[in-house]
Amino acid sequence: MSELSRRQSFLKIAAAFNGVVGVLLGIPIVRYVLSPMKTGSDHWIPLGTLDKFPTGETRLATFRSPVSNGSDGETAELPCWVRNVDGSKFQVFAINCAHLGCPVRWFPQSRLFMCPCHGGAYYEDGSRASGPPERGLFEYPFKVLDGKLHIQAGELPTPGPSAANRDLIQIKRQPPCA
Amino acid sequence: MRVIGKIGHWLDERLQLGAPIRETMDHPIPRETASWFYVFGSAAMTVFALQVVTGILLALIYNPSASEAWNSLQILNQQVTLGWFIRALHGWGSNFMLAIVLIHMVQVFLFGAYKFPRELTWILGVFLLLMTLGMAFTGQVLRFDQDSYWGLGIGASIASRVPIIGPAVVKLMLGGPIIAGATLSRFFALHVFVIPGSLMLFVGLHILLVLKVGINEWPMPGRLVRRSDYVEKYHALTRTEGVPFVPYGVWKDVVFSGVILLAIAACALYFGPFGPSGQPDPRVIQTAPRPDYFFLWLYALLSLLPPALETPVLLIAPAIGLMVLLVLPFFSGEGEKSWKRRPIAVLTILLIAVALGTFTNMASHAPWSPVMDASTAASIPANFVSGRTPLQIQGALVFQSKQCHNCHALGDIGGKRGPALDTVATRLTMDQLVRQVLQGGGNMPAYGKNLNSAETAALVGFLETLHPASQASARDASQTQGAQP
């Protein structure tokens, strides 16, 4: 074996060695970069006592994101619309329009939610009334515990095919009197 | 002078850059390309340099934290000496850079400069355009205000529509489950490290290719590009008619760059910095988010597309557009360069320009958005209520209080989401009005559950009066005939 070809073999071994080192370093780097994908399973969050939400009315409520930290500032304070249907049944809607996420506003006189961005409108039960949204407002699951209304929230609701949305669609499919 | 010469000599002995720099300066370019049409590439680079410098200056004060970013922009605008001017330079520089990059691209396309052997230069340019757009979007996010916050929500909603991996892409984009501190941090990293770093690398390669392959000659109608003999002919051209790049070509570049910098400074001085608008507090929902100027066309498109087409268009059209741009130099790598003999190329540019211009113009009016405060802030013009009966005036009150005005204009006041109702009584009979109000349809919500019979009667009574004095309201012909003996 000539000296040159020996050196070329050394180079190949060195390159292979660096490849192994690269993979060893790459695994933690990729895991670090992809780590946000695993965050944010929904938590039960209290919205306040029931007397804040009078029967038959829809009120704005806010809650603090369950996964927030100090650097989030006001962005961790999230709003939602709470509709007290009949004193025992509630509907809690995400603030985000089901079209592209802009904040919808409640108009009690016409009993409509309207979106300022692309003109989506929803009825008081969150179902689609008009405009570009393909579905009704996103709904958070709720429960009443110790006289307080709790919702299961934590993720930004988006119109894509997330697991949370599938649950919500199933909830919507239940007959309205159930 | 002798000292400077000695230092230069000392440096060149070590760096050995003198010869290649002289070669670059003296490299021959076709005489006609020392033209005012060939100044946009260098101007884009100059503005990029301005963005780098002003960006670093802003980073001295800017705090990329969701809780502090908005405050630090206020400090820049109001407390730091000339902070507002640096922000304005950076903001206007961004607009100018995008505009110049687009003009440069159109010029290159119309002059056939993407054809053989400059395919790779064009492809790198396409990526430079994408990066420039990426800088514009991420920069808009760093101006962490209401528009930025809800703009991120729109971006996340679009990303979520990607099949299967959509939700994962959203979390990766936001750095977590919601728009928060981690979101701003990663957009800061993109805007300040990742994209500018890639931009510098790609700009370097782009310019290297211009030097290696040579600047595009002035396109002459009938002088066709053939792969077999183009390079030979080009070298013959630069040998016979060539002039050195410095000073023949470069003096116009330098003048134009100076003019552009002056124009940016003038805009910054006169118009000032962009925003920030309200604080990025999601609890403040009295807001109507709007994108920055260069994304207004997209805002219009998202409002006007039929809902079922939206996701395919959002996800597939950009991919097709990018593919078309990337394969263009291979698909039409030879043949005619001159725009005078490429009518389809010219028409394509005109079509795109008219479409983008129309969408941008529409987005500045946003007729598809309800006027959210029309029911409280906009009054019904007096001529629509004067001389009406008490019942009809009650109907006008219903029109106002039930937010009809948010979507329907009267006397050009109010929303444009639905049709203006100035003469609605000439179009719809009373029965049709009742049906439309109660059942909705045609993109209008149904009001059947929200209006009692008295309100409906009053509202329709008012709508029935909305016709010109010279034109009767619409009547159902069958009923009119039936009533006659």
| Residues A48 and A136 occupy one common structural domain | yes
| Residues A58 and A14 occupy one common structural domain | no
Tally helices (H) and strands (E) across chain A.
2, 11
**Cα B143 from Cα B405, distance rounded (Å):** 34
Please judge whether B67 and A67 are an interchain contact, meaning their C-beta atoms are less than 8 angstroms apart: no
Please judge whether B172 and A36 are an interchain contact, meaning their C-beta atoms are less than 8 angstroms apart: yes
pTM, 2 dp: 0.90
- Is B10 among the domain residues? no
Residues of A with CB below 8 A from B449's CB?
111, 123
Bridging pattern class, strands A121-123 and A90-94:
unpaired
Burial (CB count within 10 angstroms: exposed 0-12, middle 13-18, buried 19+), residue B443 = middle
**Cα B241 from Cα B64, distance rounded (Å):** 54
Please judge whether A162 and B161 are an interchain contact, meaning their C-beta atoms are less than 8 angstroms apart: no
Instruction: Write out the residue range of the structural domain in which residue B471 sits.
Output: 374-476
**Cα B426 from Cα B468, distance rounded (Å):** 8
| Residues A153 and A86 occupy one common structural domain | yes
- Is A113 among the domain residues? yes
Please judge whether A130 and B443 are an interchain contact, meaning their C-beta atoms are less than 8 angstroms apart: yes
| Residues B283 and B404 occupy one common structural domain | no
Residues of B with CB below 8 A from A160's CB?
157, 159-162, 166-167, 170
| Residues B230 and B306 occupy one common structural domain | yes
| Residues A33 and A49 occupy one common structural domain | no
Residues of A with CB below 8 A from B65's CB?
71, 73
Q: Tell me which of A39, A67, A69, A75 to substitute to probe the interface with B (most B C-beta atoms closer than 10 Å).
A: A75
Residues of A with CB below 8 A from B289's CB?
102, 116-117
What is the number of CB-based contacts under 8 A between chain A and chain B?
205
| Residues B252 and B352 occupy one common structural domain | yes
- Is A75 among the domain residues? yes
Q: What is the 3-state secondary structure (H, E, C) of B116-162?
A: CCCHHHHHHHHHHHHHHHHHHHHHHHHCCCHHHHHHHHHHHHHHCCC
Domain end call among B320, B346, B365: B365
**Cα B110 from Cα B353, distance rounded (Å):** 14
CA-based nearest residue in chain B for residue A162 = B167
Which of A40, A78, A110 faces B171 most closely, judged by CB atoms? Answer: A40
| Residues B336 and B427 occupy one common structural domain | no
| Residues B81 and B122 occupy one common structural domain | yes
CA-based nearest residue in chain B for residue A104 = B285
Residues of B with CB below 8 A from A79's CB?
282-283, 285
| Residues A49 and A77 occupy one common structural domain | yes
ipTM confidence score: 0.88
The domain total for chain B is 2
CA-based nearest residue in chain B for residue A72 = B181
| Residues B337 and B422 occupy one common structural domain | no
| Residues B145 and B121 occupy one common structural domain | yes
- Is A137 among the domain residues? yes
Q: What is the pLDDT along chain B (485 residues), one digit of tens a residue?
A: 789 999 999 999 999 999 999 999 999 999 988 899 999 999 999 999 999 999 999 999 999 999 999 999 999 999 999 999 999 999 999 999 999 999 999 999 999 999 999 999 999 999 999 999 999 999 999 999 999 999 999 999 999 999 889 999 999 999 999 999 999 999 999 999 999 999 999 999 999 999 999 999 999 999 999 999 999 999 999 999 899 999 998 999 999 999 999 999 999 999 999 989 999 999 999 888 888 888 999 889 888 888 888 888 888 999 999 999 999 999 999 999 999 999 999 999 999 999 999 999 999 888 888 888 888 888 888 888 888 899 999 999 999 989 999 999 998 888 888 899 998 989 999 889 999 999 988 889 999 888 889 999 999 999 989 988 888 888 887 776 544 44
| Residues A94 and A135 occupy one common structural domain | yes
Domain end call among B348, B365, B382: B365
| Residues B295 and B395 occupy one common structural domain | no
Please judge whether B282 and A68 are an interchain contact, meaning their C-beta atoms are less than 8 angstroms apart: no
Instruction: Write out the residue range of the structural domain in which residue A106 sits.
Output: 41-173
| Residues A57 and A113 occupy one common structural domain | yes
| Residues B345 and B382 occupy one common structural domain | no
What is the distance in angstroms between the Cα of A71 and the nearest Cα belonging to chain B?
A: 5
Domain end call among B314, B344, B365: B365
| Residues A12 and A46 occupy one common structural domain | no
- Is A117 among the domain residues? yes
Coil, strand, or helix at residue A100? Answer: coil
Which of A71, A103, A132 faces B67 most closely, judged by CB atoms? Answer: A71
Residues of chain A with pLDDT under 70: 1, 39-41, 161-178
Q: Tell me which of A59, A63, A71 to substitute to probe the interface with B (most B C-beta atoms closer than 10 Å).
A: A71
CATH of the domain at A76: 2.102.10.10
| Residues A30 and A69 occupy one common structural domain | no
CATH of the domain at B383: 1.10.760.10
| Residues B208 and B101 occupy one common structural domain | yes
- Is A66 among the domain residues? yes
- Is A178 among the domain residues? no
Please judge whether B150 and A77 are an interchain contact, meaning their C-beta atoms are less than 8 angstroms apart: no
| Residues B192 and B135 occupy one common structural domain | yes
Q: Are B475 and B482 in contact (CB under 8 A)?
A: no
**Cα B107 from Cα B114, distance rounded (Å):** 10
What is the distance in angstroms between the Cα of A95 and the nearest Cα belonging to chain B?
A: 9
Which amino acid belongs to residue A131? G
| Residues B44 and B175 occupy one common structural domain | yes
The domain total for chain A is 2
- Is B19 among the domain residues? no
| Residues A168 and A82 occupy one common structural domain | yes
- Is B136 among the domain residues? yes
- Is B393 among the domain residues? yes
| Residues A55 and A133 occupy one common structural domain | yes
Q: Tell me which of A42, A45, A60, A74 to substitute to probe the interface with B (most B C-beta atoms closer than 10 Å).
A: A74
- Is A65 among the domain residues? yes
- Is B264 among the domain residues? yes
Residues of B with CB below 8 A from A132's CB?
302-303, 305, 307, 310
Which of A37, A95, A104 faces B168 most closely, judged by CB atoms? Answer: A37
Coil, strand, or helix at residue B286? Answer: coil
| Residues A21 and A103 occupy one common structural domain | no
Q: Are B153 and A97 in contact (CB under 8 A)?
A: no
CATH of the domain at B142: 1.20.810.10
